[in-house]
Amino acid sequence: MTKLVLFSSANKQGNTAQLIDEIAKHHELEVIDIDALTITPYNYQNNYPEDDFYPLVEKILAADKLIFASPVYWHAPTATIKALIDRITELTDVKVLKIKARSLANKPTFVLATSASDELCPIFNGFFEKVFAYFDMPYLAHLHVSCREGFNLEDNALAKFNTVLNN
């Protein structure tokens, strides 16, 4: 079963990367650093140069489970994650791509997040809830780690997340 992690962070060895490493101790993951890709911003004309978006869409569609991994920056995911999600809108705009958008339906989704807060920001979480609901993708779980005083992953939270990710 393919578990695809779409990872974005300004610090490639930071807390979010450490969280992915913790999950990888229990699951086989394919991690894609989307910051290393070229994804042209969404435009209403749907006029795009050749970039990494279409190959990434194929990986997303082939995955059994999707995991978005981002630190919380100003109540939101990274700009790269937001740009990717904006661009996924193209799948709903272009007639020949609509089948790909419909293929996202029922694909289980998860979120990994790190921040300086004790709880996951409701704005951050709400963003993913709305996006996943729009595409009919079940949002099954998130795992948030408070990093105010260092990386503080609670064993209980990790075990609960791993159980849901395994099902």
The CATH label, of 3.40.50.360, 2.40.30.10, 3.40.50.300, 3.20.20.70, for the domain at 3-166 is 3.40.50.360
User: For residue 153, what are the contacts with CB-CB under 8 A and spacing of at least 6?
Assistant: 19, 22, 145
- What does the alpha-carbon distance between residue 149 and residue 37 come to, in Å, rounded to a whole number? 32
pLDDT over 90 at 1, yes or no = no
Which letter, b or e, does each residue of 128-164 get, where b requires 16 or more Cβ atoms within 10 Å of its Cβ? Answer: beebbeebebebebbbbbbbeeeeebeeeebeebbee
pTM: 0.95
Q: SS3 for 144?
A: strand
* Domain ranges, ordered by start, for the chain: 3-166
| Confidence at 94, pLDDT banded by 50, 70, 90 | confident
In this model, does residue 15 exceed pLDDT 90?
yes
Amino acid making up residue 93? D
pLDDT digits (tens, 9 = 90+) for 128-157: 999 999 999 999 999 999 999 999 999 999
Q: Amino acid identity of 16?
A: T
pLDDT, tens digit, for every residue of 25-37?
999 999 999 999 9
Q: How far apart are CA 95 and CA 104, in angstroms?
A: 15
Average pLDDT over residues 62-78: 97
| pLDDT on residue 69 | 98
- Look over the chain and give the mean of its residue pLDDT values, rounded to a whole number: 95
